[in-house]
Every structure is written in C-alpha cells, then in structure tokens.
C-alpha cells in the first residue's frame, strides 16, 4: 500500500512532537507500506516569518514573502528526516524543486498544475520514507510560490492523487471534523463521515480543519481523506463522496471572524455597473462573497459585499482609484463582522431550515446584517462580537450536540 500522511504545524511543533510523528511514520513503514509524508512548518513559524517580514518592510514583495515562507516547510522535512535516521529508518526530504511541483505563477496564492512523480517513486523504490514540503511550489520563472495559508493539505491531496495512493491521512491537533469548532462550542460532536460538498462549504466558511482547495481536489480525483489526530489513535473523520450514516438535517456550523463588509454607495443605476465593480475586484484577485444590492432610487443604487478581512484595504484602495469609472460616490468598510454558516446536504429536501436558524439568532438577540444561501448552505453576516454566541445558539437549535 502507498500511504500519504500530512502533519500540520502543531503536530511538528517541537522536537518531541517531531519524534512522535517520526515514530508513527516508522510504524507504517515497518508494516511494509510505501510512505510519503507532507509536512507544514513547525508551530507558528509561518506567522512569525510574516511578522518579521512586516517589521522589515510592510510592503514586502510577494515573491520575497514566498521565498521566506517556504523555509518553514523546508526546516520541518529536514528535521523529520534526521529524526527518522536517528531511528535507523531510511528517509529523504525533498522540496518543491527537487520533486518538481509546478504551479501557476501568482505568488502567495498559486495553484498546483503538474507534479512529477519520478523522483518520489524512485526514492520509494529504494525503500525510503519520502518527506515532502507542503504549501510550496515552483512557477515558470523558476521561483518559489506558495499555495495560500493552510495549503499543505492541498499538497498532500495532490500527491495522493498523482501517486494513486491507497490512503490520504491528514493529521492535526483535533480528533477529526466536528459539528462546530470544539474550542467555541463545548459540546460539539465529532463526525464519523462527511461528504466532499459539505466539507468544502464548511472549509470555505471558516472551519479551519482543512484547506478548501484540498477538498476540491479530493472530490475531483476521488481521494478519500481521513482527518485524524497525531496525538492519539482515535478513528478520525472520513471525507468522501457518499456517506452511509443516516444524515442529520445539517452537518455543521462554521464561524469566520475574518470577514469584512464593504459598502459602495451612489452607483449609477444602469446596466454594466455591477460588472465594472466586480470585474475590477476580480482582475486584482480579490474574492468577493455575499453580495447585496439595494433597490435603486434617484437613479443611484448601493451595493454591499463581503471580502476576506486581509484583502479589505486593497479592495478599498482599488475602488477609490477607480471611483469615476465605476461611478461610485463613496466607499465604507466594516471590519468587525463575522460570518456564521450552517452546512448540510439534508437541507435540500427539508423546508424551514433557514427559519430555524434565524429563530435561534432571534432568541439570543443577534441581528443579521446580510444573508446568502446555496443548496446546502446558509450564511449570515453578524457583528463580530456576536459570532460565538450565534454559533452556540444555532448548534443547540439544530440538536447537534453529543
């Protein structure tokens, strides 16, 4: 069997934990399996590197930021190789150049395009554990790129797909995927299984457990994922196409505190304005989420939308610079907002799910700013201070607790 295992930052946070992971990988190897291990940077390394960069130059170029961040993962794989060698287990670390993991050219948020398997297969054939840097790639200019924060999950799934692995295990510091973040909702329950679509929506809506692109890729290539803890032997959660357990109305509640609401006022009420507005943002790689347009009056209209908090300043600057072309009069931004989402394939065939969610919010006095829905998801924008309260109330109302 060929197994891809991915360990997140906390799982390799210090020397003891690195040895713990090495032991787990060695056990797998000693069963006779081929083992490919993808690692994240140790602990908070990536954050610290970014802080350091900001201190030196708040406008550091994205190329140099990627150059810097990729050192984190490189440290992890090298140390892991050393830990395995100390246990007399053959192992080799490889970075994105050595494997050759090609991505699109955009620094900071690149997408994987092509992974060469030759070197990895060669090392596996030599009976080595192969340790691969997560999160990084190389572009057509021969530079390092990164896949966006949390991107090591995507590296692991991509490797599992191209290597036709028999299993892809994502190890983290929680026991699996929960009905809500157990740090916020005390009686959240671990799910045995969840579908790709549900997991994708949860991941996109702020459940930090998996990088959303990794789920997209797992669905595309039919890679069954297992999310489990690196600190115990608990079973974890399977992420796959179909689940066998009887489904609940909804599978989980997610909270995203890193949202910002931008309101654009005084737009001309005529065709093509929304296109100009959102095209300007899209061309600059700014992702827009919930969109709300007011009813026009006096030939003008207002449009509000949400973006990632980190992208809010860029978005505002961009809109200010294109004021007359987009025909806007003013722009405002509110950063202390949060998105609360419920996700579940069960809501497709059940009316009243939205009403139940809104009732739960009403009961705890939480006001809704904006609403958006899809077939299997309902998202509301609330004040940031209300986010956790809202999450708990909704979790309770849908009976998701243990």
Q: Single out the segment in contact with ligand ASP by CB under 6 A; choices: 38-46, 115-123, 198-206, 323-331.
A: 38-46
Beta partners for 101? Answer: 115
Beta partners for 269? Answer: none
The answer to whether the beta carbons of residues 308 and 262 sit under 8 Å apart is no
The residue (of 258 and 389) whose beta carbon lies closer to Mg ion is: 258
Per CB under 6 A, does 72 bind ligand ASP? yes
Rounded (10°) angle between helices 45-56 and 62-86: 150
Which residues, including other chains, have CB under 8 Å from residue 402's CB and lie 6 or more apart? 187, 188, 189
# binding residues, ligand ASP (CB under 6 A)? 12
Per CB under 5 A, does 150 bind Mg ion? yes
The residue (of 73 and 302) whose beta carbon lies closer to Mg ion is: 73
Q: Single out the segment in contact with ligand ASP by CB under 6 A; choices: 40-48, 163-171, 276-284, 393-401.
A: 40-48
Measured between alpha carbons, how far is 282 from 234 in angstroms, rounded to an integer? Answer: 42
* Residue of 137, 150, 176, 387 interacting with ligand ASP (CB under 6 A): 150
Per CB under 6 A, does 7 bind ligand ASP? no
Among ligand ASP, Mg ion, none, the one that 344 touches (CB under a kind-dependent 5 to 8 A) is: none
Measured between alpha carbons, how far is 60 from 108 in angstroms, rounded to an integer? Answer: 12
Per CB under 6 A, does 206 bind ligand ASP? no
Among ligand ASP, Mg ion, none, the one that 46 touches (CB under a kind-dependent 5 to 8 A) is: ligand ASP
Among ligand ASP, Mg ion, none, the one that 387 touches (CB under a kind-dependent 5 to 8 A) is: none
Q: What are phi and psi of 260, to 5 degrees?
A: -140, 145
The answer to whether the beta carbons of residues 253 and 391 sit under 8 Å apart is yes
* Residue of 83, 112, 138, 151 interacting with ligand ASP (CB under 6 A): 151
Residues 334-393 close enough to bind ligand ASP by CB under 6 A:
none
Per CB under 6 A, does 157 bind ligand ASP? no
Q: Single out the segment in contact with ligand ASP by CB under 6 A; choices: 39-47, 169-177, 239-247, 353-361.
A: 39-47
Per CB under 5 A, does 151 bind Mg ion? no
Which residues, including other chains, have CB under 8 Å from residue 322's CB and lie 6 or more apart? 280
The residue (of 150 and 344) whose beta carbon lies closer to Mg ion is: 150
Query: Over the range 174-210, which residues count as b (16 or more CB within 10 Å of their CB) and which as e?
Result: bbbbbbbbeebbeebbbbebbbbbbbbbbbbbbbbbb
* Residue of 12, 36, 41, 92 interacting with ligand ASP (CB under 6 A): 41
Q: What are phi and psi of 259, to 5 degrees?
A: -105, 155
Strands 167-172 and 225-229, how do they pair? parallel
Q: Single out the segment in contact with ligand ASP by CB under 6 A; choices: 25-33, 149-157, 272-280, 321-329.
A: 149-157
Measured between alpha carbons, how far is 39 from 337 in angstroms, rounded to an integer? Answer: 33
Binding residues for Mg ion (CB under 5 A): 8, 150
Binding residues for ligand ASP (CB under 6 A): 8-9, 40-41, 46, 72, 134-135, 149-152
């Amino acid at each position: 069997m060929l197994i891809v295992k991915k360990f997140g930052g906390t799982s390799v946070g210090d020397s003891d934990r690195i040895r713990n992971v090495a032991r787990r990988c060695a056990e797998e190897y000693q069963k006779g399996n081929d083992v490919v291990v993808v690692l994240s940077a140790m602990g908070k390394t990536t954050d610290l590197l970014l802080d350091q960069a900001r201190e030196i130059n708040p406008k550091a170029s994205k190329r140099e930021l990627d150059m810097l961040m990729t050192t984190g993962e490189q440290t992890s794989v090298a140390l892991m190789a050393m830990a395995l060698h100390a246990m007399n287990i053959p192992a080799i670390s490889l970075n994105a150049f050595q494997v050759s993991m090609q991505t699109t050219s955009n620094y900071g948020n690149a997408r994987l395009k092509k992974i060469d398997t030759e070197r990895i297969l060669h090392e596996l054939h030599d009976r080595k554990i192969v340790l691969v840097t997560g999160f990084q790639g190389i572009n057509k200019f021969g530079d390092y790129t990164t896949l966006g924060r949390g991107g090591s999950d995507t590296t692991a799934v991509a490797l599992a797909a191209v290597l036709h692995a028999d299993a892809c295990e994502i190890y983290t510091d929680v026991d699996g995927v929960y009905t809500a973040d157990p740090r916020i909702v005390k009686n959240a329950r671990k799910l045995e299984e969840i579908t790709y679509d549900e997991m994708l929506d949860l991941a996109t809506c702020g459940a930090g457990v998996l990088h959303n692109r990794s789920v997209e890729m797992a669905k595309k290539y039919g890679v069954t994922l297992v999310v489990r803890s690196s600190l115990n032997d608990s079973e974890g959660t399977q992420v796959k196409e179909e689940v066998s357990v009887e489904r609940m109305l909804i599978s989980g509640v997610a909270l995203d505190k890193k949202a910002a609401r931008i309101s654009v006022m005084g737009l001309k009420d005529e065709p093509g304005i929304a296109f100009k507005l959102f095209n300007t943002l899209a061309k600059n790689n700014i992702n827009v989420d919930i969109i709300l347009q007011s009813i026009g009056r006096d030939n003008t209209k207002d449009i509000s939308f949400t973006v990632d908090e980190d992208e809010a300043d860029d978005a505002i600057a961009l809109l200010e610079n294109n004021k007359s072309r987009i025909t806007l009069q003013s722009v405002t931004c509110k950063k202390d907002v949060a998105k609360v989402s419920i996700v579940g394939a069960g809501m497709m065939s059940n009316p009243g799910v939205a009403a139940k969610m809104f009732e739960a919010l009403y009961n705890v006095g939480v006001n809704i700013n904006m609403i958006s829905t899809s077939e299997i998801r309902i998202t509301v924008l609330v004040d940031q201070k209300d986010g956790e309260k809202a999450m708990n109330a909704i979790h309770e109302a849908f009976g998701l607790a243990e």
